[in-house]
Structure 1
């Protein structure tokens, strides 16, 4: 579970991250990364978008839990103030945790290198 200070719940920030942030996609997910302001201002915040196309509520919640677990391990790689939004695709429902971790790692490297 992500600590409360790392959860993204603000709809406006979701919108900004998905429209203006750097994006990288794989078969399983799309990751949007945007700077959220001055570095010392806020901690890294992470939000998830898992639509009904991924599956029923049980499947969507399982995918969300697995993605939260994967992103929690990557929080120390991100700079203070960054906002990350992960959008899961239907392939995420059948992907293993290792595949999700590889997809997140790949996307974070591409977005932070740009």
Structure 2
């Protein structure tokens, strides 16, 4: 968690929220999957619902096949 997200209190709040959101979604991932969630500074002011929506969108994008350029 980058210090750009905020002070220690804010970073811990974001970390707890993300951990709570990720836990139930882990069962949907294939075994052996590594998941890295990076919190950007905007996550400090995002609502719990917005964080969940953004997380779902990121997971959906990660599951979709990559297009060749």
Instruction: Name the TM-score, length of structure 2 as normaliser.
Output: 0.91
- Give the match for residue 90 of structure 1: 41
Report matched runs for 1:1-114 at 5 Å.
Answer: 50-114=1-65
Instruction: Name the TM-score, length of structure 1 as normaliser.
Output: 0.56
SS at match of 1:88: coil
More helix by share: 2
More strand by share: 1
Unaligned ranges ≥5, structure 2: none
Question: How far apart, CA to CA, are the structure 2 residues paired with 1:110 and 1:51?
Answer: 23
The aligned length equals 65
* Bigger relative CO (Cα 8 Å, ≥ 6 apart): 2
Question: How far apart, CA to CA, are the structure 2 residues paired with 1:76 and 1:68?
Answer: 14
Segments ≥4 residues shifted beyond 6 Å = none
Unaligned ranges ≥5, structure 1: 1-49
Shift of 1:92: 0.2
